[in-house]
Every structure is written in C-alpha cells, then in structure tokens.
Amino acid sequence: MTAWVNGTDPRPHYRAAAAQSYFAGLIVADRLTPRISAATSLTADEIAAVAAAAIPAAGTPWDPDTFQAAMRDIAAAAGAIADMVHVGNRNLAHHHVGLLQHQLGVPRLRELAPPFAEW
C-alpha cells in the first residue's frame, strides 16, 4: 500500500473518483455477466447504457469513463475468474484487491492468478 500511495507501485494511480468508479465497474460487470453465467459479454453499447443509467449517491466521486473501462476489462476476461483476478491485480491498488476478493465471494481468489511481479 505504501508503494501505491507514494506513486512507486506500477499499478495505475487513480484519483478518488476514478478509483471508486473503476472498482464499481468491476463489481457491476461481474454481477451482469459472469455471476449469472451469461453466455456473452456485455457489448460496448450495453456498457455505455449501464454507465449512463448509473446514479451514484449524492457527493460520491464519480468517473463514468473509468467505470466503463472497468466493465470493458471484465468483458475482455470473458467470464474467466483467473482473468478477472488479473484485471484486479493489474489495475487496483493493493488494498482494493482484498475488497474485490470479498465482493466476488471467492475464497483464496488471489491464488488463482500469479503474483503481480510475475507478469
């Protein structure tokens, strides 16, 4: 976490709105496709429609473009849980990866993908 805060972690350093929106996009995309065993990923038009319809709570930092980027990243993973873990490991601050694991409800989720340093 210290490396991320100090800007030396190689993962993207998002401002608060982008970080929260990216995380929300991961969770929403999971709920709309892999979680319900959808046969296809969301299309670009469907992702844009979901982002346009999102209503963040008043005062919540929000970045609809980053939200859509996360949804596209999950769509590219095509429902493979290990690929979704890669997306989280690659794009989330270390302290958010544990929260993603909890939200996805998969015990020992991080063990499904190699450590970040091995990419």
pLDDT at 47: 94
Confidence band of 58 (pLDDT split at 50, 70, 90): very high
Alpha-carbon span 43 to 69, nearest angstrom: 12
Q: Whole-prediction pTM value?
A: 0.72
Q: Where are the domains of the chain?
A: 15-52+61-118
Taking only the tens place, the pLDDT of each residue in 61-119 is: 899 999 999 999 888 877 667 777 778 777 877 667 777 766 766 666 556 655 554 44
Q: Counting beta carbons within 10 angstroms of the beta carbon of residue 47, is it exposed (0 to 12), middle (13 to 18) or buried (19 or more)?
A: buried
The CA-to-CA distance between both ends of the chain, in Å, stands at 19
Question: In this predicted structure, what is the pLDDT of residue 77?
Answer: 79
Q: How many CB atoms lie within 10 A of CB 89?
A: 19
The predicted-structure confidence for 4-37, as pLDDT tens digits, reads as follows 445 565 566 677 888 889 989 988 988 888 777 7
